[in-house]
DNA sequence: TTGACAAATGACACTGTGTCATATAAAATA
DNA sequence: TATTTTATATGACACAGTGTCATTTGTCAA
């Protein structure tokens, strides 16, 4: 978390720092982000930066926290909204994560952020970056409607979640990489459909 | 690729460098790997390192090349072996990638390597690291038996491939992270099964 | 033995990090 | 208002690592 000192700063100054930071985070992947560039761009002294933030992860965490806080709130509601339908739930998650980039700058920022995703556990969802971390899907497990799922144990549900999570996560990353927004969504929905009904044709015919 | 100079070195010296490198690559993720540590451990001069390799990626690429060359050869055969069964094909891929770590050191090495995977496209399969890069699954597409797959277009097949790829890749990473070897494989097979037959119970009952 | 090529070396110039003693500004108190 | 106390800002500094290059050392053929 940023220090009290930072939070007490004038809105103007805070904004200047955050803008410089976003610019730098948009430029290169996290490991190449240079605090030097940020302080120069924000026109603050090097020492000040360290008075405000522990390190660049701390700063990034602060920037992303709001986004994830919003996400948690949305998803909390959403699981009720979709009446426990795990597929609709993940589709909402996808929509939320991919809809938040209204400007080109935002897009570039999130693209670079997602470039840093290795596994979700490692990065975005790690306490290091996001203190207000997204709820693990596990937290919703008791709200999931399993009546029409081919599961026998609690573990099976978790496996399905993991799969959907992996696929959704990858789809989100892809959204920011190669494809058009529409094409990306279409592909994602096809994948969800395959997971629902299976890839083999025997049952379908 | 390492320079001729490196390749001409005595086996002993080469081995010493490669050992030091593996040790360092096992210690921290790629971005934190320090050439300094490698040259000190291998007892060569800093300048020598740069006479042998362009940079640390070059070195890592050299170390991994054999592994991937083997993989390509194996997979080329395997697609025939499994008679175009895409699921069996991916399971073979999983087996190959997770079986190659006989010692604890190997395990640690690959674990750290896989920590660097963001998306396969980005890292392991990028030309920067692996010059002899694994064939894209796409290269096998015409050898896949689609007769029992619920697909209508070529694109559908590609989507299925992508899914299997994503899931397999994640499963490989997980193999090196949390779980026991056996548990990891079991989970992976369950996922494949879900993709084959679908998650919904309606068809099954 | 000498010359020519191959290989090894480490000092050097850079880039960037995180810290800390000091300077400055702002607020509180007398 | 003057003085003390607290908060904030600053950039020089020590450190760690990178990649380069002129120079040294080693090897082998003529």
Three-state SS for B178-190 is CCCHHHHHHHHHH
Q: Residue B136 contacts by C-beta under 8 Å, 6 or more apart in sequence?
A: B125
Taking the CA atoms of chain B, what radius of gyration do you get in angstroms? 20
Cβ of residue B9 lies below 7 Å from strand C: yes
Name the helix (H) or strand (E) containing B57: helix B56-81
Indicate the SS3 state at residue A55: coil
pLDDT at res. A195: 97
Residue with tokens 């975005």: A124
Chain B closest-CA separation from residue A186 CA (Å): 11
Tell me which long-range contacts B158-163 makes (C-beta under 8 A, separation of at least 24).
Answer: B159/A187, B159/A190, B159/A191, B159/A194, B160/A194, B160/A199, B160/B86, B161/B86, B161/B137, B162/A187, B162/A191, B163/A167, B163/A191, B163/A194, B163/A195, B163/B195
Nearest Cα neighbor of A64 from A143, A161, A131, A159 is: A131
* Chain centre distance of CA B120: 8
Looking at the predicted structure, is the pLDDT value of residue A168 above 60?
yes
Looking at the predicted structure, is the pLDDT value of residue A191 above 70?
yes
Q: Mean per-residue pLDDT for A174-190?
A: 88
Angle, vertex CA A124, rays to CA A129 and CA A186, nearest 5: 155
Indicate the SS3 state at residue B91: helix
pLDDT band with cut points at 50, 70 and 90 for residue B46:
very high
What whole-number distance in Å separates Cα of residue A100 and Cα of residue B38? 43
Contacts of A160 in chain B (CB under 8 A): 194, 199
What whole-number distance in Å separates Cα of residue A152 and Cα of residue B18? 48
pLDDT at res. A204: 42
Report the interhelical angle of B154-177 vs B181-197 (nearest 10°). 160
Question: Among all residues of chain A, which has the CA nearest to that of B200?
Answer: A149
pLDDT band with cut points at 50, 70 and 90 for residue A102:
confident
Q: Which residue has the higher pLDDT, B17 or B125?
A: B17
pLDDT at res. B204: 42
Mean model confidence pLDDT for chain A: 86
Asked if B196 is an interface residue toward chain A (Cβ–Cβ < 8 A), one would say yes
Q: What residues does B149 pair with on adjacent strands? A: A200
Asked if A203 is an interface residue toward chain B (Cβ–Cβ < 8 A), one would say yes
Which amino acid residue lies closest to nucleotide C20, measuring CA to C1'? A47
Interface test with B, best of A199, A200, A202 (most B CBs within 10 A): A199
Q: Mean per-residue pLDDT for A104-128?
A: 68
pLDDT band with cut points at 50, 70 and 90 for residue A203:
very low
Contact A159 B203 (CB under 8 A): no
Highest mean pLDDT among B104-113, B133-142, B189-198: B189-198
Q: Which residue has the higher pLDDT, A19 or A106?
A: A19
pTM as predicted: 0.86
Question: Among all residues of chain B, which has the CA nearest to that of A156?
Answer: B190
Q: Residue B58 contacts by C-beta under 8 Å, 6 or more apart in sequence?
A: B1, B2
pLDDT at res. B203: 47
Highest mean pLDDT among A63-77, A130-144, A160-174: A160-174
Chain A closest-CA separation from residue B194 CA (Å): 7
Nearest Cα neighbor of B170 from A166, A168, A174, A157 is: A166
pLDDT band with cut points at 50, 70 and 90 for residue B205:
very low
Contact B187 A159 (CB under 8 A): yes
Residue with tokens 């909402």: A92
Looking at the predicted structure, is the pLDDT value of residue A63 above 50?
yes
Nearest Cα neighbor of B21 from B66, B56, B48, B45 is: B56
Question: Among all residues of chain A, which has the CA nearest to that of B189?
Answer: A159
Q: What are phi and psi of B129, to 5 degrees?
A: -90, -55
Q: Mean per-residue pLDDT for B91-100?
A: 89
Q: Mean per-residue pLDDT for A130-152?
A: 77
Asked if A153 is an interface residue toward chain B (Cβ–Cβ < 8 A), one would say no
Report yes or no: A159 and B199 within 8 Å, Cβ to Cβ.
Answer: no
pLDDT band with cut points at 50, 70 and 90 for residue A136:
low
Cβ of residue A48 lies below 7 Å from strand D: yes
CB-proximal positions of chain C, under 7 Å: 6-12, 15-21
Indicate the SS3 state at residue B118: coil
Q: Which residue has the higher pLDDT, A170 or A190?
A: A190
- pLDDT tens digits for range B116-168: 665 544 544 455 666 655 556 667 778 899 999 999 999 999 999 989 988 99
pLDDT band with cut points at 50, 70 and 90 for residue A126:
low
Looking at the predicted structure, is the pLDDT value of residue A129 above 70?
no
Mean model confidence pLDDT for chain B: 86
Give nearest nucleotide to B50 (CA–C1'): D19
pLDDT at res. A118: 55
pLDDT at res. B169: 84
């Amino acid at each position: 978390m940023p220090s009290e000192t930072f939070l007490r700063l004038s809105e103007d100054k805070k904004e200047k720092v955050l803008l410089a930071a976003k610019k730098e985070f948009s430029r290169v992947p996290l490991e190449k982000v240079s605090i030097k560039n940020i302080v120069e761009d924000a026109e603050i002294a090097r020492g000040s930066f360290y008075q405000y933030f522990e390190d660049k992860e701390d700063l990034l965490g602060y920037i992303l926290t709001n986004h994830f806080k919003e996400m948690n709130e949305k998803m909390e509601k959403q699981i009720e909204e979709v009446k426990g339908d795990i597929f609709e739930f993940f589709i909402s998650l996808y929509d939320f994560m991919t809809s938040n980039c209204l400007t080109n700058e935002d897009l570039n920022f999130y693209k670079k952020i997602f470039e840093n995703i290795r596994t979700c556990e490692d990065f975005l969802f790690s306490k290091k970056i996001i203190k207000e971390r997204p709820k693990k899907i596990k937290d919703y497990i008791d709200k999931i409607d399993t009546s029409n799922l081919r599961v026998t144990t609690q573990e099976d549900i978790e496996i399905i979640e993991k799969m959907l999570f992996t696929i959704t996560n990858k789809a989100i990353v892809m959204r920011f990489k190669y494809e058009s927004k529409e094409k990306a969504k279409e592909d994602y929905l096809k994948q969800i459909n395959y997971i629902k009904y299976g890839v083999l044709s025997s049952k379908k015919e």
